[in-house]
C-alpha cells in the first residue's frame, strides 16, 4: 500500500515571497500524483496532477509541482504568493492499476501581509 508524507504541517510566508510545500510518497507500484487545495470552509479541489510525460506540472493559480521519481517526491511551488493562497494543501497518490487513493495529512499555508 502507498503512503504520503507532508513534512510541514504549517508554513507561514510573507506575501509575494516564494513558497515550496513538500510531499514525499512511498509505493511499490507506479502511481499518479495530485495536489488538492482546501480554502477555508470549503471542500477540496484539484490544483494539479501528474499522470505521465514532463515531470514539471503546471496547475491553477500559478502553482506548479515537479515529480522526482528517484526521490519519490512531488513538491509544490509558487514563485510569489498572495493573501488569497492561504489554505490547506493536500498531496495525494493513486495507484495506476490499483484501487487505492491516499491523501497526505495536509500543510496549512498562511500568507502574511
Where on the chain is the footprint of other proteins (CB under 8 A)? 32, 34, 42-46, 49, 51, 90, 94-101, 103, 105-106
Nearer to other proteins, 82 or 96 (CB): 96
DSSP string, 36-93: EEE-TTS-EEEEEEE-SS-SEEE-GGG-EEEEETTTTEEEEEESS--GGG-EEEEEEE
> What is the Cα–Cα distance from 9 to 109, expressed in whole angstroms?
9
Nearer to other proteins, 45 or 61 (CB): 45
Amino acid at each position: 500500500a502507498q503512503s504520503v508524507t507532508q513534512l510541514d504541517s504549517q508554513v507561514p510566508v510573507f506575501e509575494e515571497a516564494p513558497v515550496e510545500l513538500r510531499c514525499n510518497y512511498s509505493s511499490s507500484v507506479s502511481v499518479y500524483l495530485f495536489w488538492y487545495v482546501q480554502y477555508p470552509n470549503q471542500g477540496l479541489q484539484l490544483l494539479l496532477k501528474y499522470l505521465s510525460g514532463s515531470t514539471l506540472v503546471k496547475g491553477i493559480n500559478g502553482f506548479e509541482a515537479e515529480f522526482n521519481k528517484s526521490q519519490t517526491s512531488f513538491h509544490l511551488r509558487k514563485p510569489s504568493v498572495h493573501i488569497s493562497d492561504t489554505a490547506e494543501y493536500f498531496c495525494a497518490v493513486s495507484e495506476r492499476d490499483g484501487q487505492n487513493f491516499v491523501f497526505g495529512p495536509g500543510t496549512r499555508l498562511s500568507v502574511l501581509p
